């Protein structure tokens, strides 16, 4: 049953990621991206990462709702519902992303991955909290400072006198018994590390295609989000199948979630500044801002 759930969710995650760059409407692309992230969040729940899985689900629901409001305010067509296809170098982006996926899949299938060490603790969330308040405190502090800096930078960049518009008016629990030290408890999840990594590689490749082929900055942001989504899946898989006795994998997933939130916040700020300055939201029209 766990394997069926994994493959079903994997299909939804990848199909949702592909739909982001196929539907043509940015509003529909937003909900396709949400479906992909919801499936990824449930995948994390399947491997006992209850807190991080719920965090991904709740954060992405709120983030996508904010994106819809953003589109209503700034898109050139009503709420981003009208078909809009703005791509460049489509064949090149497709070739690069396909090549990256083949390379990643080959490495995943040919690499002799380490055997599983330890078992998941009874309370995975408590274990993560202990790590963040103990040996991983530096990571927690860096995340906090990064979030604060991003909030300040986003507000400054998107204000009326931003950079681009200054001339414009306007105690650890005992582990559970491990039935299969190499691949995890069989009663829990019968998929392997390689399957998790293949799903992560597919999401990363789809996101890479979007980041390389889309002209709209919002769509580029969606591509980057899908790439981070693949990192989330890979981090959760490494934690569960390689070292579930430590919180290192959970911390990696938490850092990836933070990066995803910071990227979206800064992306919205940049798009707001560009739109206010030039009434554009595409990368080609902002090319002279580089450097």
- Summarised one tens digit per residue, pLDDT across range 236-249 is 999 899 888 888 88
Reported as a pLDDT band with limits 50, 70 and 90, residue 82 is low
Find the mean pLDDT for residues 220-225.
86
**58, 59, 60, 61 alpha-carbon torsion, rounded to 10°:** 50
Euclidean distance between CA atoms 268 and 258, whole angstroms: 16
Q: Which of 264, 276, 64, 34 is nearest to 151 (CA)?
A: 264
CA 31 distance to own-chain centroid? 14
Euclidean distance between CA atoms 209 and 97, whole angstroms: 5
Residue 153 lies in a domain: yes
Orientation of helix 90-110 relative to helix 193-213, angle to 10°? 160
Euclidean distance between CA atoms 225 and 219, whole angstroms: 10
Residue 273 lies in a domain: yes
Euclidean distance between CA atoms 10 and 200, whole angstroms: 9
pLDDT at 217 over 80: no
Is 107 or 279 the better-scoring residue by pLDDT?
107
Residue 278 lies in a domain: yes
The burial class, CB within 10 Å (0-12 / 13-18 / 19+), for 241 is: buried
pLDDT tens by residue, 24-78: 777 788 888 899 999 999 999 988 888 888 988 988 888 888 777 776 666 555 5
pLDDT at 162 over 90: no
Reported as a pLDDT band with limits 50, 70 and 90, residue 287 is low
Euclidean distance between CA atoms 128 and 212, whole angstroms: 35
> Can you give the residue range of the structural domain that contains 154?
88-289
Amino acid 173: pLDDT: 46
pLDDT at 255 over 90: no
Euclidean distance between CA atoms 247 and 175, whole angstroms: 13
Residue 49 lies in a domain: no
pLDDT at 163 over 60: no
pTM of the model: 0.80
For residue 212 the two structure tokens come to 């390389």
Is 121 or 101 the better-scoring residue by pLDDT?
101
pLDDT tens by residue, 138-155: 877 887 787 777 777 776
Amino acid 106: pLDDT: 94
- Phi, psi (rounded to 5 degrees) for 177: -60, 140
Residue 169 lies in a domain: yes
156: domain CATH number is: 1.10.287.3510
Alpha-helical regions (H) of the chain: 2-20, 26-46, 50-74, 90-110, 124-133, 137-158, 193-213, 217-241, 248-278
Residue 65 lies in a domain: no
Reported as a pLDDT band with limits 50, 70 and 90, residue 187 is very low
Reading phi first (left if > 0) and then psi (alpha if -120 to 50, else beta), residue 211 is in alpha
Number of domains the chain contains: 1
Residue 26 lies in a domain: no
Residue 111 lies in a domain: yes
Q: Which of 216, 218, 130 is nearest to 172 (CA)?
A: 130
pLDDT at 172 over 60: no
């Amino acid at each position: 049953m766990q394997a069926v759930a994994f493959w079903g969710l994997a299909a939804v995650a990848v199909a949702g990621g592909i739909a982001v760059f196929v539907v043509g409407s940015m509003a529909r692309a937003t909900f396709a991206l949400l479906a992909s992230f919801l499936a990824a969040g449930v995948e994390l729940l399947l491997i006992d990462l209850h807190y991080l899985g719920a965090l991904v689900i709740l954060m992405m629901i709120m983030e996508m709702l904010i994106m819809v409001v953003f589109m209503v305010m700034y898109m050139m067509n009503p709420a981003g519902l009208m078909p809009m296809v703005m791509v460049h170098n489509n064949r090149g982006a497709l070739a690069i992303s396909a090549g990256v996926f083949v390379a990643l899949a080959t490495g995943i299938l040919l690499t002799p991955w380490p055997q599983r060490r330890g078992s998941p603790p009874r309370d995975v969330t408590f274990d993560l909290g202990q790590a963040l308040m103990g040996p991983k405190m530096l990571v927690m502090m860096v995340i906090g400072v990064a979030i604060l800096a991003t909030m300040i930078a986003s507000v400054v960049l998107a204000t009326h006198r931003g950079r681009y518009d200054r001339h414009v008016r306007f105690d650890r629990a005992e582990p559970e018994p491990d039935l299969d030290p190499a691949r995890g408890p069989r009663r829990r999840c019968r998929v392997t590390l390689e399957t998790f990594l293949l799903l992560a590689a597919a999401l990363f490749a789809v996101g890479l295609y979007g980041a390389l082929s889309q002209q709209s900055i919002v769509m580029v942001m969606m591509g980057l989000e899908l790439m981070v989504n693949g990192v989330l899946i890979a981090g959760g898989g490494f934690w569960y199948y390689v070292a579930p006795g430590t919180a290192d994998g959970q911390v990696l997933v938490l850092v990836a979630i933070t990066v995803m939130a910071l990227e979206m916040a800064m992306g919205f700020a940049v798009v707001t500044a560009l739109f206010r300055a030039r009434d554009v939201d595409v990368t080609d029209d902002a090319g002279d801002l580089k450097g």
